[in-house]
C-alpha cells in the first residue's frame, strides 16, 4: 500500500473459503483367514472402496470400508478358491494452515482418495493358516468454512477501464502470413 493514499479504506467481507488442508499416505497390514489352509497366493486385490469424511479434533477422519479378495491355492496346489473379507478403517488426516478466524458452525469437510487402497504385498502367515495383506492408501482432505477477508475499497468505485478505450486493430488475417517453421526454429534456438 502507498502511504500517500490517505483515502484508503478497508472492508471485511464474509465468504466461504478453504480454511484448512491435509494429506496423508499410509500403509496398513490386514490378516485374512481363508476357509482352507493356503499353499500359495495367486492374487490379491481390493474392490468396493467407500468412505466419507468427518471433522474430528485437529483433523478430518476418513471413515471407510473395502473388500479384500485373495485368490489362493490349497490342498498342495491341487485346488483354488477366493477368500473375501470386508475391512473397516478410520484414518485421521491432520489439517494444516487452519484459519483461526473461521466460523466453526459452518465447517464442511471433504476427502478424496488420491491413491485408492491397493494391495502391494500378500504373504502366507508363519502359522500357515492366514494371509498378511499390505495395503497402501492416500487421502487429501479440505475443510471449507465461512471466514472474513479484508479488501481495499477504491474511493472512485469499480470502474475497471476509466477513460481508457480498447482497440482491437486487425483481425485473424494478421497471423496467416506467419511461417510456422520459422517460429519453431526460433523456439529451438532459445532452448
In-domain check, residue 176: no
Which residues are registered as beta bridge partners of 53?
62
The alpha-helical segments, DSSP class H, found in the chain are 180-190
Task: Give the per-residue pLDDT at 168.
Answer: 60
Residue pair 139/114 in contact (Cβ under 8 Å)? The answer is: yes
User: Per the domain annotation, does 185 fall within a domain?
Assistant: no
Query: Do the domain assignments include residue 172?
Result: no
CB 49, CB 64: distance < 8 Å: yes
In the prediction, which pLDDT does 154 show?
76
Domain extent at residue 31: 9-151
pLDDT in tens, 111-159: 999 999 999 999 999 999 999 999 999 999 999 999 998 888 877 666 6
Per-residue pLDDT, averaged over 65-76, amounts to 96
Whether 175 is in a domain gets the answer: no
- Is residue 1 situated within a structural domain? no
125 within some domain: yes
**Cα 107 from Cα 27, distance rounded (Å):** 29
How many structural domains comprise the chain? 1
When pLDDT is averaged across residues 53-58 and rounded to a whole number, the result is: 93
d(CA 146, CA 185): 52
Span 166-181, pLDDT tens digits: 666 655 555 566 666 6
Residue 168 lies in a domain: no
Q: Beta strands of the chain (E only): which ranges?
A: 9-32, 38-56, 59-74, 79-94, 108-124, 131-153
The least confident of 81-85, 102-106, 109-113, 180-184 is 180-184
Percent pLDDT > 90 in the chain is 69
**Residue listed under C-alpha cell 458452525:** 105
- The DSSP symbol for 130 reads -
Q: Domain for residue 117, yes or no?
A: yes
Q: What pLDDT band is residue 162 in, cutting at 50, 70 and 90?
A: low
pTM, to two decimals: 0.73
Separation between Cα atoms, residue 131 and residue 45, nearest integer Å: 13
Amino acid at each position: 500500500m502507498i502511504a500517500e493514499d490517505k483515502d484508503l479504506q478497508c472492508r471485511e467481507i464474509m465468504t466461504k473459503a478453504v480454511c484448512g488442508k491435509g494429506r496423508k499416505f499410509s500403509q496398513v497390514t490386514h490378516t485374512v483367514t481363508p476357509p482352507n489352509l493356503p499353499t500359495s497366493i495367486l492374487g490379491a486385490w481390493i474392490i468396493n472402496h467407500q468412505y466419507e469424511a468427518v471433522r474430528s479434533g485437529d483433523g478430518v477422519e476418513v471413515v471407510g470400508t473395502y473388500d479384500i479378495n485373495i485368490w489362493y491355492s490349497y490342498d498342495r496346489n491341487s485346488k483354488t478358491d477366493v477368500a473375501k473379507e470386508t475391512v473397516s478403517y478410520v484414518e485421521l488426516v491432520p489439517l494444516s494452515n487452519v484459519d483461526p478466524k473461521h466460523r466453526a458452525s459452518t465447517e464442511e469437510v471433504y476427502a478424496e482418495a488420491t491413491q485408492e487402497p491397493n494391495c502391494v504385498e500378500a504373504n502366507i502367515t508363519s502359522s500357515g493358516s492366514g494371509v498378511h495383506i499390505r495395503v497402501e492408501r492416500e487421502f487429501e482432505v479440505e475443510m471449507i468454512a465461512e471466514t472474513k477477508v479484508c479488501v481495499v475499497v477504491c474511493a472512485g468505485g469499480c470502474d475497471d477501464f476509466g477513460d481508457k478505450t480498447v482497440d482491437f486493430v486487425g483481425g485473424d488475417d494478421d497471423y496467416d502470413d506467419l511461417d510456422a517453421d520459422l517460429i519453431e526454429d526460433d523456439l529451438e534456438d532459445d532452448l
